[in-house]
């Protein structure tokens, strides 16, 4: 039996996400009534950014802790310590392969969401400032704006991340039950 904070990580992300739709709808309605150059000054936008940060960081923590905990339970801690240098996404490929003796049946879009979740978490946790000099006094197309300057809620659908949190652990658990029940 192992002890972990898996449920805590998931609960924090889920609670942060609870007000997501309401706040996003309020902010969208507000934006339609206000001059766009003032959009960045609303407390609701900052609050929505805080929600996205919490959800992304804690869902990534959950997914990383889940795969480590599952691997340690069935493969042993020493094996997981040897795999510890792998990226979280690579662990989601290697650990199920070792556990099931077969490739983990993860759909391409889910693989993309998993990769995106960890990339977004890394952008947040290892934040780098952006040189704004090239943008001062210039009109630029949205495509030309650095990704980190676009509001989270305009570029990320958190529902995709919750999909992988619901599907991948259940799929792995089903595979483990099938393998070890025989």
Tens-place pLDDT, residues 73-128:
999 999 999 999 999 999 999 999 999 999 888 899 999 999 999 998 998 888 77
How many of the other CB atoms lie within 10 Å of CB of 99? 19
Q: Enter the tokens of residue 144.
A: 């030309």
In a domain, 122, yes or no: yes
Which burial class, exposed, middle or buried, applies to 59 when counting CB atoms under 10 A from its CB (0-12, 13-18, 19+)?
Answer: buried
Its pTM stands at 0.80
Helix axes 108-125, 88-100, angle to 10 degrees: 140
- Report the alpha-carbon distance of residue 139 to residue 55 in Å, rounded: 32
Report how far apart the first and last C-alpha atoms of the chain are (Å, whole number). 21
pLDDT of 41: 45
pLDDT of 23: 76
Helix axes 43-75, 158-180, angle to 10 degrees: 10
pLDDT of 155: 61
What is the extent of the structural domain holding 69? 6-180
In a domain, 52, yes or no: yes
- Report the alpha-carbon distance of residue 29 to residue 143 in Å, rounded: 24
- Report the alpha-carbon distance of residue 150 to residue 182 in Å, rounded: 51
Pinpoint the alpha helices (H) of 19-157. 20-33, 43-75, 77-83, 88-100, 108-125, 152-155
In a domain, 138, yes or no: yes
In a domain, 17, yes or no: yes
pLDDT digits over 35-55, tens only?
555 555 456 667 777 888 899
In a domain, 55, yes or no: yes
More confident residue, 161 or 149: 161
- Report the alpha-carbon distance of residue 113 to residue 158 in Å, rounded: 10
Task: Say whether pLDDT at 152 is over 90.
Answer: no
- In the chain, the number of structural domains is 1
Q: How far is CA 27 from the centre of its chain?
A: 22
In a domain, 1, yes or no: no
């Amino acid at each position: 039996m192992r002890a972990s904070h898996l449920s805590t990580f998931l609960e924090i992300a889920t609670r942060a996400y609870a007000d997501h739709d309401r706040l996003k709808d309020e902010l969208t309605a507000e934006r339609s009534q206000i001059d766009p150059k003032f959009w960045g000054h609303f407390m609701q936008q900052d609050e929505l950014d805080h929600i996205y940060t919490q959800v992304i960081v804690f869902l990534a923590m959950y997914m990383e802790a889940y795969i480590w905990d599952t691997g340690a339970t069935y493969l042993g801690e020493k094996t997981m310590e040897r795999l510890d240098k792998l990226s979280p996404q690579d662990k989601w490929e290697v650990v199920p392969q070792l556990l099931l003796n077969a490739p983990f049946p993860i759909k391409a879009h889910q693989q993309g969401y998993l990769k995106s979740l960890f990339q977004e978490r890394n952008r947040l946790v290892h934040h780098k400032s952006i040189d704004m000099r090239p943008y001062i006094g210039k009109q630029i197309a949205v495509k030309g704006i650095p990704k980190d300057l676009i509001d989270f809620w305009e570029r990320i659908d958190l529902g995709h991340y919750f999909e992988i949190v619901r599907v991948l652990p259940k799929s792995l658990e089903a595979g483990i039950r099938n393998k070890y029940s025989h």
